[in-house]
Structure 1
Amino acid sequence: MDRRNDAAERLLPTGTEWTPVRWGESGDRVFRRNGGGAYAKISSGKGAVLLDNERSRTEWLAAFSIGSPTVLDWIASEEGACLVTSAVPGVPASDLSAPDLRLAWPSMVRQLKLLHDLPAGGCPFHRRLETMFHRAADVVARDAVNPDFLDPEFQDTPPSKLLADLRRELPQRLTEESRDLVICHGDACLPNFMVDPETHNCTGLIDLGRLGTADRYVDFSLLLGSARESWVRPDDAQIARDRLFDIHGISAPDLGRLAFYLRLDPLTWG
């Protein structure tokens, strides 16, 4: 038996059966409760600290009832930690076909706006640019950047060069952030938007470990970037971008901010 599986199963709540779902990109182990209704995410080492961060953010956001999981159980031991949350109905937007994603897109964008419209001053969590840039510098210094996370255009560029280019923009982006802080998801990629495949309505957001106040373009860049490979018609990407900014009431999108955060995010994982 895989020892990782054995350790993970010891952390699962007893009295019910669980089915392994996947290993997450972060190394977390995910299980689904038989019969549905709940998921368990298990992590160890430094990952257990990050999972505790996700627990506190999930608990906080659930109080606003805008479509997110609730915390059902939290188990911590020397072996690691287990976070059990309610299941948000639907399928990940990443599982949708291009035609279905086009139909679901407006509802997904409105779901994101619900989050951004919450009072940022009341959020106890922060994902400020200065902190994320320091994290990127650390990941680059440790040579821990995953090249698969990089935009294909930059996969042959040394991460140190990418970081240096971003550093030159940093003062301008910090000024912009100070004028436009909202509560961001922080990892607003297609797999974290749940969608009813029949109605194409977005039912909620999951995986909230990076939630916190930040520049709204953090979420815009990741949502648009993660959807690029899903589109098949030549004008799909442009239509999706226009719809996003129209729904969010932005008449003059800042494409420079979009590009900045899309380049920064891959350097912060590692």
Structure 2
Amino acid sequence: MGIQDAVLSRFVRGGEDWTPVTGGESRAAVLRSPDGASFAKVVGAAAAEELAGERDRIEWWHATGLAGPAVLDWSSDDDGACLVMSAVPGVTADRLDLDGLSAVWPHLAETVRDIHEVSPDRCPFRRDLPAMMQRARDVVGQDRVVPDYLPQGWRDRPAQDLLDRLETEYPDRLGDERQEAVVCHGDLCLPNIVVDTETSRVSGFVDLGRVGLADPYADIALLLASAREVWPDEDAGRGADAVFATRYGETLDGARQLFYLELDPLTWYA
């Protein structure tokens, strides 16, 4: 019996199976419990170590007092592993309409600031630029880039060209990170942010497998780019960026923002 079958049989209650969850870019199988109170993430043996890292990050995040899931159970065998975690109440921010995202946007900026203000000394995990650049070199070198993840202007060009451009900026960006490494979510896009629509406040963050110390723009760049898909035009997008900058408390650095927006898609394997 494979790990996924074992997990399903273990968590069946009253004849009701856990429900597969669709969407997202993870290669893991994600299942929701019949009562919706918890989720199980199941991977094969090749990804078991990575899932164990996510488990450890969730436990740290939760213990630190940041809003997100709690680890409920962990199981593994030669076929793979399963992580069971509590659900975060609310809806993911990618499901909000323009009014809904606009309402929560100021609180989201403040919440991201609060994450970034957690003392770096408390965080045992790293997502630093040397590691992410090496991952990008590996992905490009193995020809495993996912074209659909790339910024629009780069989808018809060789990924090596984009990597070469990033390499020229790497020394400057490494200097930025060494001066300002903070606790980052690591994949801060709208589907990973859960919102209480009654209060228009962030209720938590999910998909914590990339939590670690990094340049704050590793988060900021992804969040602002993800949100741009909701604002109706460029002026509205710039206005949202300005609100974010004011509530976050920093004048946005366009060069750092673009660097991390272009680096991130090179760090995901096809």
Is the TM value for this pair above 0.5?
A: yes
- CA root-mean-square deviation: 1.5
Give the distance between the partners of 2:223 and 2:210, measured in 1 at CA.
14
SS of 2:224's equivalent?
helix
Aligned to 1:142: 142
- The alpha-carbon distance between structure 1 residues 14 and 177, as it changes in their structure 2 partners (threshold 3 A), is same
Unaligned stretches of 5+ residues in structure 1: none
- Once the two structures are superposed, what CA deviation does each residue of 1:37-66 show, in whole Å capped at 9, x if it has no partner? 111111113222111110000001101222
1:254 corresponds to: 253
TM-score by length of 2: 0.94
Aligned match of 2:5: 9
- Kindly indicate whether residue 259 of structure 2 is the aligned counterpart of residue 263 of structure 1: no
Q: CA deviation at 1:183?
A: 0.2
148-157 or 260-269, which deviates more: 148-157
Give the TM-score of the pair, scaled to structure 1.
Answer: 0.94
For residues 108 and 207 of structure 1, the distance between their equivalents in structure 2, rounded to whole angstroms, comes to 17
Match of 2:218 in 1: 218
Alignment of 1:1-270 (within 5 A): 7-12=3-8, 13-14=10-11, 16=13, 17-22=17-22, 24-250=24-250, 252-270=251-269
Runs of 4 or more, structure 1, over 6 Å off, are none
2 CA distance for matches of 1:28 and 1:14?
A: 17
What amino acid is aligned across from residue 161 of structure 2 in structure 1? Answer: K
Deviation at residue 24 of structure 1 after TM alignment: 4.6
CA contact 2:111–2:202 (8 Å) conserved in 1? yes
8 Å CA contact 2:115, 2:183 repeated in 1 = yes
2:3·2:77 contact (CA, 8 Å) conserved in 1?
no
Unaligned runs of 5+ in 2: none
Q: In the TM superposition, what whole-angstrom CA distance separates every residue of 1:23-44 from its partner, at most 9, and x where no partner exists?
A: 6523111111111211111111
